[in-house]
């Protein structure tokens, strides 16, 4: 089992700014982040009830991907910062993996 590292971010957005934020995140922020060395993939989710409303999971080659010059240049909320509420960020390394017996 190869090491696997993920970055998990969650955030709420000021009321009325969600459409602009989601457009910025999907069309600008994600492409910039995924162009950084060590970033493999990203997924975004929206909570069906509760907070924080938005969650992003990034698959990384390792935690060092967060410290590259390219990542430092694009990290953060940019012009969306005034709309950001309740932001959390965590880095996790896989310690176990299991699959359903029905997984193909």
The residue ranges of every structural domain in the chain are: 5-93
Asked if omega into 97 is within 30° of 0 (cis), the reply is no
The CATH code that applies to domain 5-93 is 3.30.70.100
pLDDT in tens, 11-32: 999 999 999 999 999 999 999 9
Q: What is the full DSSP assignment across 12-80?
A: EE-TT-HHHHHHHIIIIIHHHHHTSTTEEEEEEEE-SSSS--EEEEEEES-GGGGGSHHHHHH-S-GGG
pLDDT in tens, 45-93: 999 999 999 999 999 999 999 999 999 999 999 899 999 999 999 999 9
pLDDT at position 104: 66
**What's the pLDDT band for 2 if we cut at 50, 70, 90?**
low
């Amino acid at each position: 089992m190869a090491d696997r590292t993920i970055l998990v971010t969650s955030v709420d957005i000021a009321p009325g700014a969600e459409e602009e934020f989601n457009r910025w995140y999907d069309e600008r922020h994600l492409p910039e982040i995924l162009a950084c060395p060590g970033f493999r993939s990203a997924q975004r989710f929206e909570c069906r009830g509760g907070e924080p409303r938005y969650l992003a999971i990034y698959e990384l080659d390792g935690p060092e991907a967060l410290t590259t010059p390219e990542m430092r240049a694009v990290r953060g909320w940019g012009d969306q910062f005034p709309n950001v509420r309740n932001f959390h960020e965590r880095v996790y390394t896989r310690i176990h993996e299991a699959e359903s017996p029905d997984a193909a």
